[in-house]
Structure 1
Amino acid sequence: MIRIFRTVDEGIQEVNEIQEGCWVALTDPTATEILDISNQYNIDVEHLRASLDEEERSRIEVEDRYTMILVDIPIIEERNNKDWYVTIPLAIIITDELIFTICLEDTPVLGAFMDGRVRNFYTYKKTRFILQMLYKNATMFLHYLRIIDKKSEVIERKLHVSTKNEELIELLELEKSLVYFTTSLRSNEVVLEKLLKTESIKKYPEDRELLEDVIIENKQAIEMANIYSGILSGTMDAFASVISNNLNIVMKFLATVTIVMSIPTMIASFYGMNVNPDGMPGASSPFGFAYVIVFSLVITIMLALFFAKKDLF
């Protein structure tokens, strides 16, 4: 799908035709759309397709007619009715007249610009627009990292009383997200450092300040991802032992109850044996059944109190 945006009267508007100073957003474009853009604006097809490969590495490609910036952006992926976090590539191609963005999915990073929620955003100020997108991308990483941290805290509280593996699996998914984030942020850092030095994209003094802010935000996101990943890894190791210990406690309780309940079962089994009643105590008494019941209860209670003192319940 191709959508075209242009700044009109200090606001962003979607237009039908590509004009100078427009932003052309390609979301999961078809092969025909890619070929049309390639032929019309002399952009290499491979560069247009680069961001459609989820494994593509972040980089900057400088050509005679355009410059391509490829970075990783965070997205939410739904699996088993739960939200998890991964990264996908986003390509930004800058020509003399236009800016192209190519991505596999609609993302909050670009959605904020499309909806006009970013202040001082102009499609014809290409360098500033690029840096604003990169800044928004870094802040989205930070936002999702905070959500991951809150989710891990909720799961940790569940793990205190859990004897199942569901919570550990959720922690494993969060740790995978942090690994994706850390890898992508480090790749983006290399791109930002190279962008600071490249001369193919004109940068004004205020643009350099914004780029430095982007680099700082990206470094902060890397540090947060490393900290959360370390905490999560230690938490998983600790709570794997906690789950095992919780299971041992349950098994100990069940074993103790089984032993206590076996006493009346044994006594009832003895009196249920098909032998001469003359040899069975209380067999000839009209209160024999009551005697057996009371005797079983007394022995059971005494054994239960003994186990309770030994902290086996």
Structure 2
Amino acid sequence: MIKQEKLSELTQTDFKWFDVVDIDEADIRELKKSFKLTPEITSYVSDLNERPHYDYDEHTDSHLLVYDVPLWPTAEINHFTTRPIVFLIHEKTVFSFHTHRTNYVFEQFEGSEMHQRLQNVHDITEFVMLFLFHSTQYFQRALTQINTDRNQLDRELNNEIANRDLRELAQIEKSLVYLSSSISTNLMMLQDLGKTPLARLLTPAAFERLDDILIESKQSSQMVKISSEVTEMLSKTSNNILNNNLNDTMKFLTVWSLLLTIPTIITGFFGMNVNLPLTNNHWAWLIIIVLNVGFMIWLFIYMKKHHFI
């Protein structure tokens, strides 16, 4: 669906902004017909798995930027993922392409606080840089939530490790992989923008905003790195605790298996249908019990002395 956003009342420019949500074949035909977009560009903007990058089309003098934003967990997907938002600058028109799952970025961009910032926008590149800065901040929000969830999980793991906790820890690790990958590719694309044809269009204000985005992205990159290291350490600690618990369980079972072997051996002898000592003794059963207990105590003390238990 192609929707034209009204920005003339909010910015000091005359450019147009078209927002395209969940692009389909009808939208692609309209973009080719009305705006003369090439098939290469339409293939980029319709690819939901496109990685962050910059591309310039000489035939249409169009600048395309692909930028990832985080997606919060849902009932179907229990971890953070990312999806691209695509910006296309063509003459005095800017297009944004995204899916309904990234609508939250655009809804909050149109809030009252952002309206005040838009009043200082004088150029189309300043608008795009402002939106990218707005989008970048969601990575730190996502990482803050992940850190909060991990700290809560850490407190629960200190008490007792359950399968549910381990699954949650695995979801956190998946989230960090997605966020780390997107932050890194976003950062590489931003660092290379100054060497692209788009740099000729950037105003001083747009360059200043680009520096702010780079700082924000580098902070997010450092945060996700630290968070990944802490999560990895927590995962290793949990595995060590589980292995230690398993060793204790196996040691307990082994000790009792050895102790219970003694009554089996002794009673096995006296269960044979042959003449044996104590056969005619009325106190034989009590003597046999005392022998069993005595040998079991001796074996327990022996294993304890030699640190088997």
Quickly name the TM-score band, shorter chain normalised.
0.7 to 0.9
Q: CA deviation at 1:234?
A: 5.4
* Unpaired stretches in structure 1, ≥5 consecutive residues: 11-19
- Cα distance in 1 for partners of 2:274, 2:110 equals 91
Secondary structure of the structure 2 residue equivalent to 1:74: strand
SS at match of 2:86: strand
Aligned alpha-carbon RMSD (Å): 3.9
Q: What is the 5 A alignment of 1:1-313?
A: 1-6=1-6, 23-51=17-45, 52-61=47-56, 64=60, 66-76=62-72, 83-107=78-102, 108-113=104-109, 118=114, 120=116, 122=118, 125=121, 126-153=124-151, 158=157, 167=166, 174-196=172-194, 198-199=198-199, 201-203=201-203, 205=205, 207-233=206-232, 236=235, 240-276=239-275, 279-281=276-278, 283-285=280-282, 287-308=283-304, 312-313=308-309
Relative to the length of structure 1, the TM-score reads 0.74
Change (3 A) 1:307 1:202: same
Measure, in 2, the Cα distance between the counterparts of 1:172 and 1:67. Answer: 39
- What is the rounded CA distance, in whole Å, between the counterparts of 1:70 and 1:82 in structure 2? 23
Distance 1:241 1:9, change over 3 A: same
Alpha-carbon distance change, 199 to 249 in structure 1, aligned in 2, over 3 angstroms: same
- Give distance in 2, aligned partners of 1:47 and 1:123: 30
More helix by percentage: 2
| Structure-2 separation of matches of 1:215 and 1:256 | 61
Question: What's the CA shift for 1:30?
Answer: 1.0
Structure 2 unaligned regions, length at least 5: none
2:109 and 2:134 in contact (8 A); partners too: no
- C-alpha contact 1:58 1:72 (8 A) present in aligned 2: no
- Percent of matched pairs sharing the same residue: 23
CA contact (8 A) 1:121 1:129 kept: no
* CA 1:267–1:22: 2 relative to 1, 3 Å: farther
Corresponding residue of 1:17: none
Distance 1:289 1:186, change over 3 A: same
After TM superposition, the structure 1 stretch with the greater mean CA deviation from structure 2, 224-233 or 212-221, is 224-233
